[in-house]
Amino acid sequence: MTLRSILIHPDPRLKKVCDPVPDLSDELRTLADDMLQTMYDAPGIGLAAPQVGITRRLIVLDCVRDGEGEPRPLVMFNPEVIAESEESSVYEEGCLSIPEQYAEVERPAEVTVRWMDRDGAARQEDFNGLWATCVQHEIDHLNGVLFIDYLRPLKRQMITRKMQKLKRELARG
Ligand SMILES: [Zn+2]
């Protein structure tokens, strides 16, 4: 498995609507495995393919916190929210493409998600708590939506300027 480099906002690839995955291939399974390793290494609880520069509908996540039980890596191709609760919840979100920036985002508290797993099988599951927030955040990435898009324009611009500065510093090495 290979660690992939994670794109930092702003980047045009993070604003694209990603293409569905019609059929699985070894290449896509390798990509999923690399994304999981990259996510754990970061460390993070979710990662979407466009964050590593691949604009396909693929996300990985694992919201089991350290010391709270066995890891539960999920690989989701073509994930889709098919139902959501009226009740909402607020979490402080962050993003591996927007390092060290956090803000509260309100989303449906529970969602039902349908996806294709790593073996090509159709899966469906209800998620709540942190899992619900994380899976919605990652699916947003597949539609070119970042968590800062939910914030007031002024706050969003402030974060974007910080990221532009960070990218200039990283480019200089
Ligand atoms: Zn993210």
Q: In sequence order, what are the residues at sequence separation of 6 or more whose Cβ sits closer than 8 angstroms to the Cβ of residue 7?
A: 13, 14, 50, 51, 52, 53, 97
d(CA 43, CA 79): 22
pLDDT at 66 over 80: no
d(CA 92, CA 98): 13
144, 14 contact by CB (below 8 A): yes
**What is the three-class DSSP state of 13?**
helix
The closest of 95, 163, 97 to 134, measured between CA atoms, is: 95
Whole-number pLDDT of residue 67: 77
Give 153 Cα–ligand 1 centroid separation in angstroms.
18
d(CA 37, CA 116): 20
pLDDT at 68 over 90: no
Give 131 Cα–ligand 1 centroid separation in angstroms.
13
Whole-number pLDDT of residue 1: 82
Give 157 Cα–ligand 1 centroid separation in angstroms.
17
Give 54 Cα–ligand 1 centroid separation in angstroms.
14
DSSP β-ladder status, 122-128 and 110-116: antiparallel
Q: Catalytic residues, which ones?
A: 138
Tell me the residue type at 78.
Answer: N
Give 138 Cα–ligand 1 centroid separation in angstroms.
6
With a threshold of 0.85, does the pTM exceed it? Answer: yes
